[in-house]
């Protein structure tokens, strides 16, 4: 009985503490003020593991079709490049203003994908594009785009880090 009282007291204290922090306004939510190292690590690990788990069983179709690459290229240019950048671009007004900063998808990002294979990376790209990421600025494109169109963007993302600015311009030309 004593343990139940202690656990209940700790739960009430935790709720009161959380409410105090929430309603006091002491947490700075400004996008131009970074999280502490611990909070950033906690959020990144949570994001990474959540996406990995959610994407683990997605079946990746054949993404080698040039038509997919072209379709994905024009969508990337229109919907993604202002945040995730183009070859040899290091920043944009959007990428500078978002926190956490969106990854520059025109370069290889091993820190975001670690040692995962290309198929798992494709699954994760698909899941992120389809479902978005809460409180990050990444929209859920699956609400307005079908799976074929999302896979086309994934096909383009697989090639993006290897593209020159000239190749990028050709592949992203909108009809």
pLDDT below 70 — which residues of the chain? 109-115, 175
Per DSSP, the chain holds a count of helices (H) and strands (E) of 9, 0
CA distance 144 to 147: 10
CB atoms under 10 Å from CB of 145, counted, come to: 16
pTM of the model: 0.85
User: What's the CA dihedral at 140, 97, 90, 165 to 10 degrees?
Assistant: 50
CA distance 157 to 79: 13
* Residue 123 · residue 163 · CB < 8 Å: no
CA distance 106 to 108: 7
Classify domain 37-171 by CATH architecture: Orthogonal Bundle (1.10)
Sign of the four-CA dihedral 145, 148, 152, 155: positive
């Amino acid at each position: 009985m004593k343990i139940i009282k202690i656990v209940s007291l700790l739960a009430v204290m935790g709720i009161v503490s959380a409410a105090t922090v929430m309603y006091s306004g002491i947490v700075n939510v400004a996008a131009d003020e970074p999280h502490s190292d611990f909070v950033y690590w906690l959020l990144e690990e949570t994001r990474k593991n959540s996406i990995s788990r959610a994407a683990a069983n997605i079946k990746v179709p054949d993404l080698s079709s040039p038509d997919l690459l072209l379709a994905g290229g024009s969508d990337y240019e229109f919907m993604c490049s202002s945040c995730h950048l183009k070859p040899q671009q290091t920043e944009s007004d959007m990428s500078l203003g978002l926190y956490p900063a969106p990854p520059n998808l025109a370069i290889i990002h091993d820190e975001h994908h670690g040692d995962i294979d290309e198929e798992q990376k494709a699954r994760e790209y698909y899941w992120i594009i389809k479902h978005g990421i809460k409180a990050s600025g990444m929209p859920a494109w699956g609400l307005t785009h079908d799976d074929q169109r999302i896979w086309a963007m994934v096909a383009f993302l697989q090639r993006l880090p290897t593209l020159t600015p000239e190749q990028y311009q050709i592949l992203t030309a909108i009809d």
